[in-house]
Amino acid sequence: MKYKIWLFFFFIFIAFAVSAKQIVVCQSCEVKTIKEAIKMAKEGDEILIKKGVYKEQDIVIDKPISLIGEKDVVIDGNNVGGILIIQTNNFKIKGLKIINVGLSYTIEYAAIKVIKANDFIIEDCVMENVFFGILIEKSKRGIIRNNKISSNRKNEASSGNGIHIWSGEEIEVYKNEMFGLRDGIYFEFVKNSIVHNNLSYNNIRYGLHFMFSNNNMYHHNEFRNNGAGVAVMFSKFTVMHHNKFRLNWGSASYGLLLKEIYDAEIHDNLFEQNTIGINAEGSTRINYKNNTFLRNGWAIKISGACYSNIFMNNDFMSNSLDLAYNSNINDNKFDNNYWSEYTGYDLDKNGIGDVPYRPVKLFSYIVNKTPEALILLRSLFVDIINFSEKVSPVFTPDDLMDNHPLMKRAITNFDTQRND
Amino acid sequence: MLKILKYSFYDLMRSRWSYVYFLFYLLLGFVLLFLNNDVDKAVITLMNIIIVLTPLIGTIFGVMYYYNSKEFTELLLAQPINRSKIFMGQYLGISISLTLSLVLGLGIPFVLYGLFKSAAIFNFSLLLVVGAFLNFIFVALSYNIALSTENKIKGFGYAILMWLFLAVIYDGIFLISLVVFNSYPLDKFSLAATMFNPIDLSRILILLKLDISALLGYTGAVFRKFFGTNFGMLISMGVLVLWVVLPVFRMNLKLRKKDF
């Protein structure tokens, strides 16, 4: 028993002695390149990089150290290949500016590539003109914060993702800014992770993308001007709240794309000026609450195989079409929503309309069958057939209705102002 | 011609209906802006109204003016004045006075609510231009009908029918043909079909600048490509001009042979 205690103290001593060491890299120092510094470093050391441009690629970090950049440190990859490759636990990377990652159609070059690492921090880094920004494989318990990742690639094939995590657990991604990439953030086989307060815009494909990732949460993010805001596919138990999905406006754009997802919570989000606010396909047991749909083309488009979804207390404001629905109602439920197009009355003044509201109009039904018909939007004829269908539904599912439409908006404090 | 134009114009300006029409648009503009302060949104609502109402008013005014001033026209015809000058004068008089009511009625509230500061100024001017075109087109069409029909009641009937056809029935037929021929590529067809109806053409011209451009999706790529570019805009404006010129041309042809 006793020798164990001694051993413990011994390790403490070692750890203390090691952590005290700092290696400084600068152009006029003894150590001129980062690679050299890493070779010299021992476990727990800190490498401090001073101001300057370092043209290095394939810097492999294989021991638990901290890599810290002072102001104006630039690591330039010269568009050749990957830059930092990390294969160790317990590391920290801070304050670096990494630019010009090479493009490849076969290898995933990244500014920072992390392989099989646990307990790490990547923070305050700026990455420009990258292929992949931060690429994490088979890692656990990481924090990625305050990074700014950008690129200027033109198409999906030649661009990579900002923060790409393949097989990870308990990773926290927050306060990052991503633009000009393929996907801002991409999660594949990631569990128990949180994404919050990020800003993802002008990306070619998605602002945030989940594949086969369960038990994740994202909140207070803003997704703007992306090919599609967020895509959640083949995932379970995803929680999405207080996000803004804005201006995803284009021929095949969505605010939020849901495909084969189960047991999700979607609440307090803002969907503003998207071609389609939410496009749901094969999604089951999802609760949509307190969301605001403002001036979208379609607020919600439901494409079939959706069961047990509940839409409650949402605001549907000035959307061109509130709902497109091409299957039976199944057991989905619309209740207590506010619809700006509702024309009913409230005689008993309890705030709930006395006549049910039917969100699927005949026109939206026709457009589903014949997309070209959309050019008749806002034509007098369309208004007339919508009205007659409203009076006596023939084509639209007659049980698809909101039995208790609200007379006033459910959410009053959401800032719906344009802030750009 | 100018003299007759002036006469017709002042005649209409003096009549109560021009004022009612002007006041209606004025009120509409103010109420819309008062209710939702958002100029963009107001432009969409206005479009809905202009697309339906301007043609209707144009049609009714045109027919009504022709039949009401028939006796005076006959008196003029007895004078040594060119026939086409008389009728062109009347036609322009009506169209210009209606357009003036529209432009002033809507323009004043929008200018007062700070249109010049808003980004919607282009959309709004497009709306007014389209509204003016619709006035000119429908007055010309209704004059054609009135010239061809001696019977007042019949003339009114035909004119209203024409409006109903272009505003409602045409779209119905259009929609049905889209649904029936669903399995064929329809974008070229629908592009052509919109050209044959000035109301549809104006509606799409405005909508593409406003909300549906992206909604149209893949199917609408043809539309966006066409109407979105300056070339498409020019073509559709050209078609609108044609819609004015052709009825006016037919009017002149009809006049030459008509026995009053």
Q: Of the candidates B41, B200, B224, which has its C-beta nearest A318's C-beta?
A: B41
Q: What's the CATH code of the domain at A121?
A: 2.160.20.10
Say if pTM beats, i.e. exceeds, 0.90.
no
Does some domain include residue A329? yes
**What are the CA-CA distances from residue A11 to residues A3, A5, A147, B148 (Å)?**
12, 10, 34, 108
3-class secondary structure, A285: strand
Q: A416: pLDDT confidence band, cut at 50, 70 and 90?
A: very low
3-class secondary structure, A141: strand
Q: Report yes or no: A304 and A327 within 8 Å, Cβ to Cβ.
A: yes
CA distance A109 to B61: 72
Average pLDDT over residues A170-186: 93
Predicted-complex ipTM score: 0.84
pLDDT, averaged across chain A: 87
pLDDT at position A22, please?
A: 86
In 3D space, the residue among A300, A299, A185 whose CA is nearest the CA of residue A232 turns out to be A185
Q: What are phi and psi of A277, to 5 degrees?
A: -65, -65
The answer on pLDDT for A256 being more than 80 is: yes
Tokens of B152: 């007042």
CA distance A284 to A307: 5
Domain that holds residue A83: 53-391
pLDDT in tens, B17-47: 888 889 999 998 888 888 766 666 777 788 8
pLDDT in tens, A276-315: 899 999 999 999 999 999 888 889 998 888 889 999 999 9
**DSSP H or E stretch at residue B125:** helix B121-148
pLDDT at position A419, please?
A: 37
CA-based radius of gyration for chain A: 26
Q: A193: pLDDT confidence band, cut at 50, 70 and 90?
A: very high
Verify whether the Cβ–Cβ distance B214 to A253 is below 8 Å.
Answer: yes
CA distance A420 to A213: 33
Does some domain include residue A165? yes
The answer on pLDDT for A136 being more than 50 is: yes
Chain A residues whose CB is inside 8 A of the B212 CB are 297, 320, 374-375, 377
What would the 3-class secondary structure string for B210-248 be?
A: CCHHHHCCCCCHHHHHHHHCHHHHHHHHHHHHHHHHHHH
The answer on pLDDT for B11 being more than 50 is: yes
Does some domain include residue A402? no
Average pLDDT over residues A145-150: 94
**What are the CA-CA distances from residue A257 to residues A100, A184, A209, A282, B255 (Å)?**
32, 15, 9, 11, 62
Closest chain B residue by Cα to residue A273: B211
Tokens of B54: 């301007």
Chain A residues whose CB is inside 8 A of the B207 CB are 377-378
Verify whether the Cβ–Cβ distance B221 to A251 is below 8 Å.
Answer: yes
Does some domain include residue A6? no
Top residue of B50, B163, B211 to mutate, by most chain A CBs within 10 Å, is: B211
Top residue of B127, B176, B178 to mutate, by most chain A CBs within 10 Å, is: B178
Tokens of A245: 């999905």
Q: What are phi and psi of B154, to 5 degrees?
A: -60, -45
Verify whether the Cβ–Cβ distance B218 to A252 is below 8 Å.
Answer: yes
pLDDT, averaged across chain B: 85
Does some domain include residue A220? yes
Does some domain include residue A412? no
Does some domain include residue A32? no
Chain B from 154 to 193: CB within 8 A of any A CB: 167-172, 174-175, 178-179, 182, 186-187, 190
Please indicate whether residue A95 or residue B185 has the higher confidence score (pLDDT): A95
pLDDT at position A295, please?
A: 84
Q: Report yes or no: B199 and B167 within 8 Å, Cβ to Cβ.
A: yes
Closest chain B residue by Cα to residue A251: B217
Does some domain include residue A222? yes
Q: A14: pLDDT confidence band, cut at 50, 70 and 90?
A: low
The answer on pLDDT for A1 being more than 60 is: no
Any chain A CB within 8 A of the CB of B194? Answer: yes
Query: How long is chain A?
Result: 420
The answer on pLDDT for A19 being more than 60 is: no
Average pLDDT over residues A175-201: 94
The answer on pLDDT for A186 being more than 80 is: yes
Chain B from 198 to 217: CB within 8 A of any A CB: 200, 203-204, 207, 211-212, 214-217
pLDDT in tens, A224-255: 988 888 999 999 999 999 999 988 877 678 89
Average pLDDT over residues B146-166: 93
Q: Report yes or no: A361 and A396 within 8 Å, Cβ to Cβ.
A: yes
Q: How many domains does chain A have?
A: 1
What angle do helix axes B170-180 and A380-391 make, rounded to 10 degrees? 70
The residues pairing with A276 across neighbouring beta strands, listed in sequence order, are: A254, A298
pLDDT at position A413, please?
A: 54
pLDDT at position A417, please?
A: 39
Handedness of CA B100, B101, B106, B108 (dihedral sign): positive
Least confident of A142-146, A226-230, B241-245: A226-230
Q: Report yes or no: A146 and A198 within 8 Å, Cβ to Cβ.
A: no
